[in-house]
């Protein structure tokens, strides 16, 4: 028998989108519940979704550990620092990562408590009439009625039919938990996950081969950025092969055999571990009982309007399970916006200024349109770029790789995009986000004082270069 509890807002999913929605709703005085089914490595409920448990946060922990290790062998020498052969204790590195995950997932539970968000641990299914039926981990069932229900169910890795996940073939979850450095790591898909996790294990000594289906590398990024990144990854030893159609895999005694065709014909590689990172799909299977009225599109995404409303009274959906980029911070903004809309405030997300970051080395980041997009759309633009090799701070750090590019409208000078590859560009991209959000021009950015010496000078000079007045390079 299930009892029914009443709330103003019931959120299904405690990931980035869901926990932002729940906390903001509670801050606004709405009686809020959040339902989440995930368990941590210790078997206990763990809030925070893919991002905190098996995505952004753990991958950044391993990226940072492996970067320190890589720097010992490749950058420390330039600083005159010598030492005996560096070594890596993978179990300790992974345990550090697990500790960070535990700290942050526990942090969300503490925030729920502080904000009086009622947490329910189990799988929630939407029923007709704004009811969420939760099968809790202890086997009991509870029904939550929300005047508003926010679906924030997230996404799952896409599995290829010929490469089933297991001990040797893994997704991001498995690739965060290897207990030793695989000698040979294969990666299917040169997207964000493939490049980030491929980099981690490459830096620690794995021989990494990345098989990408498309003929272009990082097709979504600015072409010049992608070119510099490809050159640097190659120097680091990442073997990225484009235009590869993977047709089959076989797990044998000597490793995973991966069969693919490229422009030269049929090929085969043998690896110890295979990471499949070919994208993610909305985690909506089984989420909706019959008769809710909520629509899924043919790919399983919940259909919503520009304000994340499903068209069914009081039912909203946000984050990875709806259209738009699968980025935690896009989900954050949608969560906050929907909570505010429910509370009668003018919640809003500007989808044109969502930054993208790939945490490789060099880092890759962008906001707004690429040159390729502007050309395709016939928008007249001017471009200014500036290399980190001419930035004192980057050279002092021994990281003089990459550049910043600012794209501005040819007539109005309004900034339309910023594209960066280089050191710490995950932080610098926000100069572009802020400028675009405030509808700034390249001239505005060029006239803003930037600290010297700092990496941000590359942004400053790139903005000046739009009008051919960069100081530290020939225009
Ligand atoms: P992705 O969409 O970034 O990349 C998938 C890649 O696999 C694409 O280049 C695609 O062309 C290729 N591909 C697809 N099918 C293939 C096949 N059969 N054979 C060979 N190549 C194939 O997806 P990914 O890396 O799995 O990441 C999933 C999502 O997670 C992304 O949408 C991303 O937004 C998000 N994410 C974001 C991060 C960040 O912001 N730094 C970090 C990690 C994930």
| Ligand 1 atom 28 nearest Cα | 279
Residue 9 has pLDDT above 90, yes or no: yes
To test the pocket of ligand 1, the residue of 186, 191, 322, 358 to mutate (highest count of ligand atoms within 8 Å of its CB) is: 191
Tokens 């996940």 correspond to 165
Mean pLDDT of 122-143: 97
pLDDT tens for residues 340-363?
Answer: 999 999 999 999 999 999 999 999
Residue 105 has pLDDT above 90, yes or no: yes
Give the model's pLDDT for residue 101: 97
Distance 157 CA to ligand 1 centre (A): 9
Distance 318 CA to ligand 1 centre (A): 20
Q: Using DSSP, state whether 198 is helix, strand or coil.
A: helix
Distance 109 CA to ligand 1 centre (A): 30
Q: What is the DSSP secondary structure assignment for residue 448, as one 8-state letter?
A: S
1 band by pLDDT with thresholds 50, 70 and 90: very low
475 band by pLDDT with thresholds 50, 70 and 90: confident
452 an active-site residue? yes
Residue 4 has pLDDT above 90, yes or no: no
DSSP one-letter string for 204-236: TT-EEEEE-SSSSTTTTS-HHHHHHHHHHHHHT
What average pLDDT is seen over the chain?
97
307 band by pLDDT with thresholds 50, 70 and 90: very high
Of the candidates 339, 368, 132, the residue with the CA atom closest to the CA atom of residue 331 = 339
| Ligand 1 atom 35 nearest Cα | 326
The sign of the dihedral angle between the CA atoms of 86, 90, 95, 98 is: positive
Tokens 């939550």 correspond to 144
Tokens 């600290």 correspond to 451
To test the pocket of ligand 1, the residue of 193, 283, 321, 421 to mutate (highest count of ligand atoms within 8 Å of its CB) is: 193
| Distance separating alpha carbons of residues 39 and 47, to the nearest angstrom | 8
Cβ–Cβ < 8 Å for 108, 14: yes
Share of the chain above pLDDT 90, in %: 98
Give the model's pLDDT for residue 2: 55
Give this prediction's pTM.
Answer: 0.97
Q: Using DSSP, state whether 89 is helix, strand or coil.
A: coil
Q: Which of 1-15, 58-72, 78-92, 210-224 has the lowest mean pLDDT?
A: 1-15
Mean pLDDT of 27-34: 98
Distance 173 CA to ligand 1 centre (A): 14
Mean pLDDT of 378-382: 98
Residue 331 has pLDDT above 50, yes or no: yes
The tokens for 355 are 């930054």
| Distance separating alpha carbons of residues 252 and 162, to the nearest angstrom | 14
To test the pocket of ligand 1, the residue of 54, 192, 361, 425 to mutate (highest count of ligand atoms within 8 Å of its CB) is: 192
pLDDT tens for residues 245-255?
Answer: 999 999 999 99
Q: At a CB cut-off of 8 Å and minimum separation 6, what does 412 contact?
A: 441
pLDDT tens for residues 443-455?
Answer: 999 999 999 999 9
Mean pLDDT of 79-85: 93
Question: Ligand 1, closest atom to CA 359?
Answer: 41
Distance 283 CA to ligand 1 centre (A): 16
Please tell me which residue in 168, 452, 460, 467 is annotated as part of the active site: 452
| Ligand 1 atom 23 nearest Cα | 279
Question: Ligand 1, closest atom to CA 172?
Answer: 26
Q: Which residues line ligand 1 (CB under 6 A)?
A: 188-194, 196, 211-214, 246, 277-280, 325-327, 357-359
The sign of the dihedral angle between the CA atoms of 48, 51, 52, 55 is: positive
């Amino acid at each position: 028998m299930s009892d029914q509890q009443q709330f103003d807002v019931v959120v299904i999913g405690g990931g980035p989108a869901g926990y932002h929605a729940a906390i903001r709703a509670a801050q606004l005085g709405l009686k809020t519940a959040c339902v989440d089914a995930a368990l941590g490595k210790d078997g206990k409920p763990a809030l925070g979704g893919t991002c905190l448990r098996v995505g952004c946060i753990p991958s950044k922990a391993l990226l940072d550990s492996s970067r320190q290790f890589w720097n010992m062998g490749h950058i420390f020498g330039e600083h005159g620092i010598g030492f005996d052969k560096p070594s890596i204790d993978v179990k300790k590195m992974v345990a550090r990562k697990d500790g960070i995950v535990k700290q942050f997932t526990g942090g969300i539970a503490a925030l729920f408590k502080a904000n009086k968000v009622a947490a329910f641990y189990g799988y929630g299914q939407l029923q007709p009439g704004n009811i969420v039926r939760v099968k809790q981990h202890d086997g009991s069932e509870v029904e939550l009625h929300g005047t508003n229900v926010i679906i924030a169910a997230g996404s799952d890795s896409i599995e290829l039919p010929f490469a089933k996940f297991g001990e040797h073939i893994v997704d991001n979850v498995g690739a965060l938990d290897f207990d030793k450095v695989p000698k040979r790591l294969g990666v299917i898909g040169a997207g964000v996950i493939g490049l980030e996790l491929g980099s981690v294990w490459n830096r620690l000594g794995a021989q990494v081969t990345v098989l990408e289906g498309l003929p272009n590398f990082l097709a979504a990024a600015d072409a010049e950025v992608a070119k510099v990144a490809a050159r640097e990854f190659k120097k680091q030893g990442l073997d990225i092969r484009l235009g590869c159609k993977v047709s089959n895999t076989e797990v044998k005694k000597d490793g995973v055999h991966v069969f693919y065709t490229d422009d030269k014909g049929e090929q085969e590689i043998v690896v110890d571990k295979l990471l499949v990172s070919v994208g993610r799909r909305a985690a909506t299977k089984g989420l909706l009982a019959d008769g809710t009225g909520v629509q899924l599109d043919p790919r399983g995404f919940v259909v919503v309007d520009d304000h994340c409303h499903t068209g069914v009274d009081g039912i909203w959906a946000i984050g990875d399970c709806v259209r738009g980029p699968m980025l935690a911070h896009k989900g954050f903004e949608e969560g906050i916006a929907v909570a505010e809309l429910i509370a009668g405030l003018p919640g809003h997300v500007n989808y044109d200024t969502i930054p993208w970051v790939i945490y490789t080395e060099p880092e890759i980041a962008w906001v707004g349109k690429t040159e390729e997009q502007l050309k395709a759309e016939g928008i007249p633009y001017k471009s200014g770029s500036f290399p980190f090799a001419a930035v004192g701070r980057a050279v002092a750090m021994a990281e003089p790789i990459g550049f910043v590019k600012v794209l501005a409208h040819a007539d109005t000078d309004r900034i339309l995009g910023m594209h960066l590859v280089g050191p710490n560009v995950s932080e610098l991209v926000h100069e572009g986000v802020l400028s675009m959000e405030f509808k700034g021009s390249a001239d505005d950015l060029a006239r803003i004082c930037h600290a010297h010496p700092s990496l941000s000078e590359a942004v400053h000079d790139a903005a000046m270069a739009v009008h051919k007045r960069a100081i530290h390079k020939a225009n």
